[in-house]
A and B are shown apart, each in its own frame.
Chain A
């Protein structure tokens, strides 16, 4: 595992450089917008990455809450399976297909629904116990960073193309902004809370935030959107060469996000180990001042 980190770092750096080259040089210029449009190669991959990280945060938080008691853990497992099965079947029923936004393919929705049980069981397998909470914290922090990139690059693009920095009431812009606000408040709660109960409170807030997102979306349903249609699974259309560059760029961003999450996760593991060591030392009460050498400062020192 330890050797994998530098290899992955180099790979990510190469991939990011290649994506930048593709985005600036290889990708064709847009007929209407000119070169301004090239910012989507940073904007859209950041958005996808941020949403993916928030989704991981939600799943990890739910699982953390559910694992408090064995009975809720079993119940949550079956509920997640039921959501997967019912959701996939429902997507292909003609009655439900009316409700989908125009241009959205049922297969795309079904894949998204299937991701819920898939992520739930994968995360549960690889992140047991306290690690679920660490994963939730890591994904929220890195997700907020990527969401900030989305909210900054959006107006930079909108100013020359729409003539305004921000379209108030736009459904996509507003729901992304509210999502960002919710997760910033999540991080504020984690910063301000006392250590023992933080995990439970934060997990509850994450569930509230996830419940809020669809309501935010519906509350501004009547406002029109100026935002371009989604590229994948939606009604938007795109030159295949542009799409290829976009996917390369997303791969680079995913690798980058994974790398950042990994080091943040390791940092969190170490921080808690140090905290535990401090607590143990004060419990044992050796009488000596806590010496730094006795603490496991890094994995490699062991």
Chain B
């Protein structure tokens, strides 16, 4: 157990340090989601009352698309110089690598959300009518839901041709229940018309189910030869 966390921490710190120096993933995500915000703003141009109903969908669709650009780069780094093959033959636990990558992506996407959410609030003139603190669990659970499956499917699409396009094709159908609960939960809080508890519980279930599945199957994906 100790070695699992030690390897996880070491790999994660390495990834964050690399990202801090290059800022590849974060910059591309930020600019991408900025473009999404601006394009959505031109396409919809909503009133304040309408925007409360649609902004939940816009925010999460923007984050979903932006996080795919980061997730695609997750494993590409490890392919250079056969790092992944070296990892495969090392005695380090497989799940440590997966957890490190997933946690690293979680941090990157959270930073993106923290920076982009104010922009959404300004551009769409959003005022929250429901209990605003509930947006926090939805954001945390929703981000983890996207990132845990995204990291897994990114590892999966490494083994395919044209892997950049494979990731969204695999990730989006599986993510539909998570996206539905994130969007519906956010809309419920913004409009204050209904309770978001159901969606928070559903997101939690989704996270537990798929984190377990990812951890159970990652070793097979990593060693599939």
Contacts and interface: CB of A to CB of B under 8 A. Distances in A.
Interface of A: 65, 68, 178, 181-182, 184-185, 188-189, 192-194, 196-197, 200-201, 204-205, 207-209, 211-212, 215-216, 218-222
B173 A193 contact: no
B193 interface: no
Find the residue from B156, B198, B202, B206 having the highest chain A CB count within 10 A.
B156
Nearest to A188: B169
9 contacts: A65-B217, A178-B176, A178-B177, A189-B166, A192-B162, A201-B159, A207-B217, A208-B149, A215-B178
A204 B160 contact: no
B213 A207 contact: yes
Interface string B174-212: 101110110010000000000000100010011001100
B209 A215 contact: yes
B217 A218 contact: no
B220 interface: yes
B182 to A, nearest CB: 10
A200 B224 contact: yes
Given A189-B166, A215-B205, A201 B174 contact: no
Given A188-B169, A192-B166, A215-B202, A197 B210 contact: no
Contacts of A222: 198
Interface of B: 149, 156, 159-162, 166, 169-170, 172-174, 176-178, 180-181, 184, 198, 202, 205-206, 209-210, 213, 217, 220-221, 224-225
Given A178-B176, A212-B174, A216-B177, A200 B198 contact: no
A218 B221 contact: no
Contacts of A65: 217, 220
Contacts of A220: 180
A216 B210 contact: no
A174 to B, nearest CB: 9
B152 to A, nearest CB: 8
A207 B212 CA distance: 12
B217 A182 contact: no
Contact of B220 (A178, A182, A194, A204): A204
Interface of B is mostly: helix
Contact of B177 (A189, A192, A219): A219
Contacts of A194: 159-161
Contacts of A215: 177-178, 202, 205-206, 209
Contact of A219 (B172, B173, B202): B202
Nearest to A213: B177
A215 B177 CA distance: 6
Contacts of A212: 173-174, 176-177
A182 B178 CA distance: 14
A192 B153 CA distance: 14
Contact of B169 (A185, A200, A211): A185
Contact of B221 (A178, A182, A188, A201): A201
Given A178-B176, A182-B173, A194-B161, A201 B202 contact: no
A116 B213 CA distance: 19
Contacts of A185: 169-170, 172-174
A211 B210 contact: yes
Given A181-B176, A194-B159, A215-B202, A200 B221 contact: yes
Contacts of B224: 196-197, 200-201
Nearest to A208: B174
Nearest to A182: B173
A204 B173 contact: no
A196 B202 contact: no
A85 B137 CA distance: 37
Nearest to B162: A192
Contacts of B161: 192-194
A189 B170 contact: yes
B159 A193 contact: yes
Nearest to B223: A200
Nearest to B198: A222
Contacts of B156: 189, 201, 204-205
Contacts of A196: 224-225
B44 to A, nearest CB: 18
Given A192-B160, A222-B198, A204 B176 contact: no
A215 B208 CA distance: 12
B220 A68 contact: yes
Contacts of A182: 173-174
B210 A208 contact: yes
Contacts of B162: 192
Contacts of A209: 173-174
Contact of A197 (B149, B209, B225): B225
